[in-house]
A and B are shown apart, each in its own frame.
Chain A
Amino acid sequence: MARILVKDIKKTFGKFVALKSVSMEVADREFTVLLGPSGCGKTTLLRIIAGLESADQGEVWIGERRIDPLPPRARNIAMVFQNYAVFPHMTVFDNIAFGLRMQKLGSEEEIRRTVEWAAELMHIESQLDKYTGQLSGGQRQRVAVARALAVRPQVLLMDEPLSNLDALLRLEMRAELKTILRESRTTTIYVTHDQVEAMSLADRIAVMHGGEIEQYDTPLEIYRNPATLFCGGFIGSPPMNFLEARAVAPGRWRIGDLELDGPRDAGSRLLMGVRPEDLEPVQGEEPALVGTIQVVEPLGSHQLAILRLDGGSLRFAGDADLPLRAGETLRLRPRADRLRWFDPGRERAIRA
């Protein structure tokens, strides 16, 4: 059993509070992504689980073992670093074999077989004799992953492994990683700031912000039902729109000329969240959000338009064939089932 349990982890660096009080439980064999902007604490959390930092308070469990007092080498983990950290003075073979040899995981013969297996998995079996200094960034990254997989850890930790690759390579590697890791079925924690990466790889995403986990759920659930303003705005590209709404009657809210049904007993001001692709153009004179188009971006598969409304702007993602032109007026209506309501003070979502 290799589930991971994190209980009330707190960490400060001097005056800076990196982790406020973080708890989460990763299921066995699950691929969890820690997603968030720089400084949100995701790398700190990962390093605490790895044993490279120690928390000020809290516990970390892997399986039935409490590991936070243990050094990294005793935790049965493996880690892939952002800058790969492959040893330049060793060949690819020796790099991959390093963990196996250090932990004495088999005879030389067995080690050789494991190394070859890992190398084949990462498609670098032809590079085994080369020194890592002769390899490209992408190849070095494969070595780093192979090295981690070779020791067959209970838990695999990855710290933004794709962020130093160029865009095309990143896409390739993403797909490859997903396949390989799915097959190996190791419990994995993956840190990234790229929400597209998170969405495509994760079984569940933990969205982190300011040292806390704001939401920990499947990608689609976070996308459809973001728990906080931050989650709504961070996930999804372009980001969710947030518009101010005022209560005109219990359960009835007004934005501009538009009136919508919404939560009752929720005060007098709320923020309504709607994704750009969940807006529909409105014909005729029905009540709608009315704005002037500022910019149109034709992206091939769809169009993006930024509209100026009274007191704000709106992003709209529409069909590629719609006749949108800058300077024209556009009337839009949100899909009723895709509205989300947020409390502006606490920045949390409200169930309608």
Chain B
Amino acid sequence: MKPRRVLYLSLALLASIWVLVPIYLLAISAFGGPETINAWPKGLLPERISAETIAFFFAVRGVWNAIRNSIIVAVLTMLMSILLGAPAGYALARFVFPGKDGYRLLILLTRAFPIAILALPLTVRFIQIGIYDTPFAVALVHTALALPFAILVSSSLFMGVPRELEEAAWTLGCTRFQAFRKVVWPLARPGIAATMIFAFVISWNEVFAASVLTLRERTLTAFLLTSLNESPLHFRFAGGFFLILPALVFIFAVRRYLFSMWGIANR
């Protein structure tokens, strides 16, 4: 191998180790049992593998509830952002209407809004309407967070389907809706699925709003955050690991689509 290439590979490997090792270390901590946590000094290789910490984690009151809530919130977010986002994306991709560019800018700007700005006033509002401390309320905020992303990505997905395909369908007997269903949707479906999963992950990982908006019906992130100070170390580690796990799995499953969505092609 050329020396250049060796250099590049080494650097790339280094960067990859830098990313992966911390996760690995957390995994050991989570699976090492309480002795490992308190052991000193720590080795790089797992000394024992025990499910004790994990079992302990799940046994803590409120954990299963929190996980359940996180799932509910994430699923709701996923559904709402697609139901609202995809039609918006389609309109943005196909129709020309006055203020279109302004609208696009507006969408980008909403991403610029700090979550705090959304979440805090909403707390008051939600208390008033009576939906405070419900998964639905958190899902609403998460949807607002994920929606701009969903709209923009789905709009670029639809733009990737050539208009001619729809026109061909129209000349061959389809109504607008039929053409969408039979031609556009099948082609955009994988990307939309990836967007939905990404919305799920965004919601699953969100901390601030989830913590502020819930009291009893916490999501996993809120639960972990608010119990940080009182919880023992191994509890935190186990919790952290389970926070990461689903996200990792999902992102792995849809990575190809995510890349093409963000505009990164496979060379």
Q: Is B162 an interface residue (CB 8 A)?
A: yes
Interface residues of A in 76-110 (CB under 8 A from B): 77-79, 81-83, 85-89, 98-99, 102-103
Interface residues of B in 140-193 (CB under 8 A from A): 162, 164-165, 167-175, 178, 183, 186-187
Given A85-B168, A89-B187, A102–B173 Cβ distance below 8 Å? yes
* Contacting pair A102 B172 (CB below 8 A): yes
Contacts of A87 in B (CB 8 A): 165, 168-169, 183
Complex alpha-carbon distance, A79 and B174, angstroms: 14
Complex alpha-carbon distance, A38 and B89, angstroms: 32
Contacts of A51 in B (CB 8 A): 170-171
Q: How far is the CB of A267 from chain B (nearest CB, A)?
A: 48
Contacts of B168 in A (CB 8 A): 79, 81, 85-87, 147
Interface centre among B172, B178, B183, by most A CB within 10 Å? B172
Complex alpha-carbon distance, A103 and B168, angstroms: 14
Q: How far is the CB of B109 from chain A (nearest CB, A)?
A: 28
| A85: contacting residue among B164, B178, B186, CB under 8 A | B164
Interface residues of B in 5-30 (CB under 8 A from A): none
Complex alpha-carbon distance, A282 and B37, angstroms: 107
* Contacting pair A81 B164 (CB below 8 A): yes
Given A85-B164, A102-B178, A52–B170 Cβ distance below 8 Å? yes
Chain A, residues 224-252, CB within 8 Å of chain B (1/0): the string is 00000000000000000000000000000
Contacts of A85 in B (CB 8 A): 162, 164-165, 167-168
Interface centre among A51, A86, A98, by most B CB within 10 Å? A98
Task: Kindly report which residue of chain B lies nearest to residue A144, judged by CB atoms.
Answer: B168
Contacts of A79 in B (CB 8 A): 167-168, 171
* Contacting pair B162 A147 (CB below 8 A): no
* Contacting pair B172 A78 (CB below 8 A): yes
* Contacting pair A73 B186 (CB below 8 A): no
Contacts of B173 in A (CB 8 A): 73, 99, 102-103, 151
Contacts of A147 in B (CB 8 A): 168, 172
Q: Is A50 an interface residue (CB 8 A)?
A: yes
Q: How far is the CB of B174 from chain A (nearest CB, A)?
A: 5
Q: How far is the CB of B74 from chain A (nearest CB, A)?
A: 29
Contacts of B172 in A (CB 8 A): 73, 78, 98-99, 102-103, 147, 151
Q: Is A312 an interface residue (CB 8 A)?
A: no
Complex alpha-carbon distance, A87 and B175, angstroms: 16
Chain A, residues 308-352, CB within 8 Å of chain B (1/0): the string is 000000000000000000000000000000000000000000000
Q: Chain B interface mostly helix, strand, loop or mixed? A: helix
* Contacting pair B164 A83 (CB below 8 A): yes
Q: Is A137 an interface residue (CB 8 A)?
A: no
Q: Is A298 an interface residue (CB 8 A)?
A: no
* Contacting pair B186 A50 (CB below 8 A): no
| A72: contacting residue among B162, B164, B170, CB under 8 A | B170
Instruction: Count chain B residues whose beta carbon lies closer than 8 angstroms to a beta carbon of A.
Output: 16
Q: Is A71 an interface residue (CB 8 A)?
A: yes
* Contacting pair A89 B169 (CB below 8 A): no
Q: How far is the CB of A167 from chain B (nearest CB, A)?
A: 24
Q: How far is the CB of B96 from chain A (nearest CB, A)?
A: 11
| A88: contacting residue among B169, B174, B187, CB under 8 A | B187
Interface residues of A in 129-171 (CB under 8 A from B): 147, 151, 157
* Contacting pair B187 A98 (CB below 8 A): no
Given A87-B183, A88-B187, A89-B187, A81–B167 Cβ distance below 8 Å? yes
Complex alpha-carbon distance, A88 and B160, angstroms: 13
Complex alpha-carbon distance, A50 and B169, angstroms: 12
Complex alpha-carbon distance, A50 and B187, angstroms: 25
Q: How far is the CB of B222 from chain A (nearest CB, A)?
A: 42
Complex alpha-carbon distance, A198 and B183, angstroms: 33
Task: Kindly report which residue of chain A lies nearest to residue B178, judged by CB atoms.
Answer: A102
Complex alpha-carbon distance, A51 and B167, angstroms: 10
Complex alpha-carbon distance, A72 and B183, angstroms: 16
* Contacting pair A102 B164 (CB below 8 A): no
Task: Kindly report which residue of chain A lies nearest to residue B174, judged by CB atoms.
Answer: A102
Complex alpha-carbon distance, A103 and B169, angstroms: 11
Contacts of B169 in A (CB 8 A): 87, 98, 102
Complex alpha-carbon distance, A73 and B215, angstroms: 57
Complex alpha-carbon distance, A266 and B147, angstroms: 71
Complex alpha-carbon distance, A102 and B168, angstroms: 12
| B175: contacting residue among A52, A73, A83, A99, CB under 8 A | A73
Q: How far is the CB of B103 from chain A (nearest CB, A)?
A: 20
Interface centre among B168, B173, B178, B186, by most A CB within 10 Å? B168
Contacts of B186 in A (CB 8 A): 89
* Contacting pair A73 B171 (CB below 8 A): yes
Complex alpha-carbon distance, A85 and B168, angstroms: 7
Q: List 20 A-B contacts (CB under 8 A).
A: A51-B171, A52-B167, A72-B171, A73-B171, A73-B172, A73-B173, A73-B174, A75-B171, A81-B168, A85-B167, A98-B169, A98-B172, A99-B171, A99-B173, A102-B173, A102-B178, A103-B172, A151-B172, A151-B173, A157-B171
Residues of A at the B interface (CB closer than 8 Å) are 50-52, 71-73, 75, 77-79, 81-83, 85-89, 98-99, 102-103, 147, 151, 157
A51-B171, A71-B175, A85-B168 are known; give 9 further A-B pairs, CB within 8 A: A73-B172, A79-B167, A79-B168, A86-B168, A89-B187, A103-B173, A147-B168, A151-B172, A157-B171
Closest 6 CB pairs of A and B: A102-B173, A99-B172, A103-B173, A85-B164, A85-B168, A72-B170
